[in-house]
Every structure is written in structure tokens, then in C-alpha cells.
Amino acid sequence: MFPIFTICFLIAISSISFANISNFTELYKDIEELINLTETFHGLENNNEYFVNFDSAKKPIDYGTFDFIIVGAGTAGGVVANRLTETNFKVLLIEAGPRDPDTVSVTALGAYYYNTPLDWGYKTTVQDNFCLATIDKRCIYPRGKMWGGTSSTTGGVYSRGSRWDYDDWANLVGSNDWSYEKVLPYFKKAEKAFFKTGLDASYHGFEGPQGVDLLEDTPGLTKTLLKAFEEKGVPELDYNGKSPYGVGRTQIYLNRNIRTGTAYAYITPASNRTNLVISDNSLVTKVNIVENIAVGVEFIKNGTAYFARASKEVILSAGSINTPQILMLSGIGPSQELKKHGIEVIKNLPVGQNLQDHVGCTAIYFRTNHTYYNLTLKQALELWYENKRPLKAGWGSQILSFINLKNDKFKPPDVEFIGIGPNGASSEIAKLNRYNQNYTAAYKILNQYTDLAFTVILLHPESKGELTLQSNDPRDFPLINLNVFAVEKDLEILYQSIKWLLDIQNTNAFNHFERLHLLMPGCDENFKTDSREWWYCVLRHIASPDYHPISTAIMGRDPSNSVTDPELKVHGIRGLRIVDASVVPITISGHLVAPVVMVADKAADFIKAEYNGLQKN
């Protein structure tokens, strides 16, 4: 049985039993239980679960001494743990969630985890200019909480960003380590490309642990989408190849039908190594710092406090929301923010500042003249076992396209389009996003078996947000203020991109597809449909964060505006490195798993070079 059903789920999770994934009956039952759970569970609101029966008078128990302690067995943490235990380092990997359940293998189920204890349950703070269609002006902000972290719940899109992103990154931080030339070998090292169609082979890897594949075409849809873009002058290509400027079938993290997140590719294969200890269901509350040296961490597991010592380094890989929270709880962060919560300042650094994310909007819908995948769950799962859609990819993703509105093809693209097939365009979106009654009603017209959608993503917003503390108590969630659309230019670029995309209805390819107009309460009454003002209003209501947060422990040289140096060491503190999306200093023109895995693999090489005297690449 899927254990998070029981009332005391923390205990149940740690005794998770794994179905035999080759057994259809078992996997099907687990999926049903997962879906059933989302009907009744509405997301965590704090970290209290770890503190049941916690006795603050008891002294923390000694968990031992390790060369390295890695906090977070997520996307980055999984890679670092694997790479460091390839040598004889002794590593402790501490993860707040449990082992990833078997259902994680089925990529299309990713969105179900948002409403389970396998997600942190975060929401943004109240946004005055954004998330206006939700019941309380707060967008959900999913983060995976299990082995593999968020890579266990994503839609599986494999997209690295453009070469110019990395060259800009290298220039910004003044280190050639991050140039495209230097990061490309790491992208290849991680990848095992299974597909041949349209593959720009010299840019791909074929021996790595993370499978990447294309899905079979959805008949009457994938090719139509590609043709429509080509009619608009956008060539078909491999967007992870030489240039992203074009349109391509979505590349997905898959080994045959199985999700290849970092739990599958890095953690599970290393989990039996004798020099790796994994403590899961364990919440790290603090890094212990003595005379500006990180000496270990404190964590809580099932109501008991522990401490563990690191003889070489503590590595924070808790992600862009939790890493800055842990840093601040440990005395590293903006002095003012720390003092406000009564935390002793060990190092004044701009932790939590510079929070950036992509902004996406799924507001363009078409009704096709086909019926796709009108299947029961059982039928869909049967197809999954035959290595077929629709359960192999999240959101029915069909194609990705990158454009630059100024047509400057030697700079990072400014917009990404995702063509989303049926099963992605559905009224479930309203529920998932917590839309208010009016917007929930508007989405009811969608038919998930016939309709397609486009998501438009602003890749380089100028608006920046911040991550701050609610209190000095690790039980409380941090505050995620994205501040989206604070800069009006961001709305304008999205509007221009939407105008560009809407023209697709005039292509021959889209002849038999009819644009769907969903009611947009609050906008329709005030503005003419499709006018600039109407679109600004629509974007403020239904645009959403893309869940790609970065820069909350930003890399750089100057401690007045950065948190780590280009080798990911926290300024002014010895033995403390940050290895996850929080160090990424600029918005990437793509999705984030691949860049984060690259950062983690590179970090492992920095570390090996430093402690083993090995040459770094």
C-alpha cells in the first residue's frame, strides 16, 4: 500500500514498501492510491511533522563524523553524493523526504505529488500584481521532497539553455569554468541519448546515467505543430544542439518508459556503497559554524535531534528555497533580516536576495479536429508498459521552440513556447492552481481529449523577488516573494510573444484547429479581447511561476553582492559549499534540471581536485 495514506505518515513513509514495477497490478494500485490521496490531502503548511514528540531539553545525539555531509538528496545532492562516493570519501547524505516511490517512474504523474507529503507544499506570498486568479493571490510553488528532489516530480523536459547563457555566466562571475566550452562536456557526461531523429550528435552524450529520448509522435498533432512553426519561418532542429533557434520535438528524461531523475540515475545506484550513509526523513535545521568554519549539521528525525560532524565540508544542496533558509537559520544572510528574527549574525551576505524565476502563461488554447488518448487510467498504464504515450511525459508536452523577438540569433533567446497536447489542456489546471470560483468555471470548457495549449515562457525577466524568513523556527516555511511583473517590460515582452504566437492560427497547418476563448473574469469586462491591456490583465491573473527558482545564494566575486565564489564556496566561511540551483547567477534560456546536474557534477570535480589533488577538467 502507498504508505502516505496512514495518519501518521512520517513513520509510514520511512517504512515504505516498494511494489514490483514489472507487476502491473501493483503499480496500478499504487497510482490509484496516489490519485486518491490528492483528493483529501491539501498540502503541508509547516515542518511540524518532524517535531512530533520532540523534547527540546534532550541533547542532540551524535550521528558520527564524515568527510562530507550533503544536505538534500535532490537533483544536485544526488549527483554530488554519487560522484564523491566513487572515491573513498565517507559521505553522509541527509534528505528531508523518503525514498522515491515506484510511481515516480511514471513521468506524467508528476503533478499529483504537489498535494502529497512528498512535496514541501510551498506557496508564494500574496502577490498584488500576479496570481490574481487564485483564491488568495498566492501561487503554488511545488518542490519535491524525496530522493531525487524536484527531479522526481518534473514534467521531464530536457533542455539545457543556450551557449550564450553560459558565456554570459562566465563573464559575470569572472571565471572561465562556467563558459559554454567548459560546461558542454558535463552536459554530455550526464546524458545517454537514445534518439536519432533530428539529433545534433556532436552536442550529446551517449554513455551517461540519465537517459533522454523523444516520444512517438501523437498522430495528427506533433507534425502539425512542427509544420505550423515552419510556416512561420521557424526551422525544425535539435534545440539542445548548436543553436536553440527553431522548433523541436520535446526531449524527455527517460530510459525507455522510466523517468531518469537523479534518484534513478545517481542515488539508487550508489545507495549500497559502504562509504555512503543516507539518512532520509531527516530535516536539517542548522549548519554548525565555529570560528567561521562549518563543522557539521544538526537535524531532526522522527522527533529526535542529531548532530553530525564534517571533517572536510558541509555541502548544501537543499534547493533555492531551503538552502537560503538553512543559511539564514545558521547565521549567514543579510544582517538586518537575521537581526529581525533574533539570529546571531555570523556572516552578512545577500542570501535570499536576487530570487529569480521564469514566468509562464498557458492562455492560448485550440480545439483540434481529433480525439486523442480518451483512455481509462488502466488503458493508459497498459500503453506505458508498451513504452507509449500518454503517461511517458508530463503535460502532454509535444514541441519546444525558442525565439528572440529582435531576431538577434547570437544572444540568448528571450521566449520559449511549449506546445502541449491533449491531457495537458484540461480543467484540472484550475484545481491544481487553486483558482477562484470564476476562473474554475472558465476552465470547464476545456476538453482534455481534443484541446491543445501553448505555454509562453519569459526566459529573462527583469523583475526580481526575495526569499526571507517567517521566523527563526525551522518549523516555519520561508517566505517566497517572487515580485513578478514589478517591471512592466516583462509584461510587454510576454505580450509581444503572445501576439507573435497567435498568428499561428493563420497557418495552413492550423486550418482545422479552432481557437478557444476562455472567459477571463476581471479582464473581459474591462478590456477588448486580445488588446494589449486585456493581455496584461490576463497575465496578471493566470501567468504562473515556472518553478525554476535561482540565485538565492548567488555566485560571484564580491561578498557585497554574492554569496559563493565561482567554486561554490561561501564567502568568508571555510568548509561550506552550496551546490544546487541557488548559486546559478543568471536566468537560463531553458529548463533547470540539466544545468543543475551540470553544476553538481562540476562541483564534485572541484572537490576531488581540492582534496585528492586530482586535475580539474
Ligand X SMILES: Cc1cc2nc3c(=O)[nH]c(=O)nc-3n(C[C@H](O)[C@H](O)[C@H](O)COP(=O)(O)OP(=O)(O)OC[C@H]3O[C@@H](n4cnc5c(N)ncnc54)[C@H](O)[C@@H]3O)c2cc1C
Question: In a 3-state reduction of DSSP, which class is residue 600?
Answer: helix
| Residues whose CB falls within 8 Å of the CB of residue 386, separated by 6 or more in sequence, listed in order | none
Does residue 11 bind ligand NAG (CB under 6 A)? yes
Q: Looking at 358, 541, 548, 571, which residue is catalytic? A: 548
Per-residue binder mask for ligand NAG (CB under 6 A), 429-448, x = binder: -------xxx--------x-
Q: Taking a C-beta distance cutoff of 8 angstroms, is the pair 308, 61 a contact?
A: no
Does residue 456 bind ligand X (CB under 6 A)? no
Task: Please state, in angstroms and rounded to a whole number, the distance separating the CA atoms of residues 551 and 360.
Answer: 19
Catalytic status, residue 370: no
Q: Looking at 204, 358, 541, 591, which residue is catalytic? A: 591
Q: Minimum distance from CB of 297 to ligand X (Å)? A: 9
Q: Taking a C-beta distance cutoff of 8 angstroms, is the pair 576, 316 a contact?
A: yes
Q: Minimum distance from CB of 108 to ligand NAG (Å)? A: 18
Q: Minimum distance from CB of 197 to ligand NAG (Å)? A: 23
The count of C-alpha atoms lying within 13 angstroms of the C-alpha of 279, restricted to the half-sphere facing its C-beta, is: 23
The count of C-alpha atoms lying within 13 angstroms of the C-alpha of 440, restricted to the half-sphere facing its C-beta, is: 10
Interface positions, 326-385, toward ligand NAG (CB under 6 A): 369-371, 374
Q: What are the DSSP E strand ranges found in 127-198?
A: 191-193
Does residue 17 bind ligand NAG (CB under 6 A)? no
**In this structure, what are the phi and psi dihedrals at residue 305, rounded to the nearest 5 degrees?**
-90, 140
Interface positions, 73-112, toward ligand NAG (CB under 6 A): none
User: Exactly one of 326, 501, 518, 554 binds ligand X (CB under 6 A); which one?
Assistant: 326
Interface positions, 19-48, toward ligand NAG (CB under 6 A): 20, 22-23, 25-26, 29, 32-33, 36
Q: Minimum distance from CB of 431 to ligand NAG (Å)? A: 15
Q: Minimum distance from CB of 329 to ligand NAG (Å)? A: 24
Question: In a 3-state reduction of DSSP, which class is residue 223?
Answer: helix
Nearest one of 4, 154, 145 to 73, comparing CA atoms = 145
- Residue 22 partner contact from ligand NAG, ligand X, none using kind-dependent CB cut-offs of 5 to 8 Å: ligand NAG
Task: Please state, in angstroms and rounded to a whole number, the distance separating the CA atoms of residues 609 and 615.
Answer: 6
Number of Cβ within a 10 Å radius of residue 15: 9
Interface positions, 546-575, toward ligand X (CB under 6 A): 547-548
Catalytic status, residue 42: no
Q: Taking a C-beta distance cutoff of 8 angstroms, is the pair 200, 237 a contact?
A: yes
Per-residue binder mask for ligand NAG (CB under 6 A), 273-312, x = binder: -----------------------------xx---------
| Residues whose CB falls within 8 Å of the CB of residue 319, separated by 6 or more in sequence, listed in order | 72, 74, 75, 76, 143, 149, 150, 549, 580, 581, 582
Number of Cβ within a 10 Å radius of residue 612: 11
CA distances from 60 to 127, 167, 301, 309 (A): 39, 46, 11, 12
User: Exactly one of 98, 117, 121, 144 binds ligand X (CB under 6 A); which one?
Assistant: 144
Which range touches ligand NAG (CB under 6 A), out of 137-145, 269-277, 328-336, 427-435? 269-277
All cell numbers assigned to 50: 518532524
User: Exactly one of 174, 201, 269, 379 binds ligand NAG (CB under 6 A); which one?
Assistant: 269
Does residue 593 bind ligand X (CB under 6 A)? yes
Residues across the chain:
617
Annotated ligand binding at 284? The verdict is yes
Does residue 155 bind ligand X (CB under 6 A)? yes
Which range touches ligand NAG (CB under 6 A), out of 233-241, 268-276, 323-331, 456-464? 268-276
Q: Minimum distance from CB of 120 to ligand X (Å)? A: 7
User: Exactly one of 94, 132, 294, 583 binds ligand X (CB under 6 A); which one?
Assistant: 94
Interface positions, 488-547, toward ligand NAG (CB under 6 A): 511-512, 521
| Residues whose CB falls within 8 Å of the CB of residue 180, separated by 6 or more in sequence, listed in order | 163, 164, 165, 166, 167, 170
Does residue 154 bind ligand X (CB under 6 A)? yes
Task: Please state, in angstroms and rounded to a whole number, the distance separating the CA atoms of residues 383 and 455.
Answer: 26
Letter for the amino acid at 18?
Answer: F
All cell numbers assigned to 340: 529581525
Q: Taking a C-beta distance cutoff of 8 angstroms, is the pair 222, 372 a contact?
A: no
Q: Minimum distance from CB of 89 to ligand NAG (Å)? A: 19
Q: Residue 442 or 596: which CB sits closer to ligand X?
A: 596
Which range touches ligand X (CB under 6 A), out of 188-196, 218-226, 441-449, 585-593? 585-593
SS3 sequence, 502-532? HHHHHCCCCCCCEEECCCCCCCCCCCCCCCH
Contact residues toward ligand NAG (CB under 6 A) are 11, 14, 20, 22-23, 25-26, 29, 32-33, 36, 53, 268-269, 271-272, 302-303, 369-371, 374, 436-438, 447, 449-450, 511-512, 521
Task: Tell me the binding residues.
Answer: 150, 284
Contact residues toward ligand X (CB under 6 A) are 71-77, 94-97, 142-145, 149-151, 153-157, 283-284, 317-320, 322, 326, 547-548, 580-581, 591-594, 596
List, by residue number, the catalytic residues. 548, 591
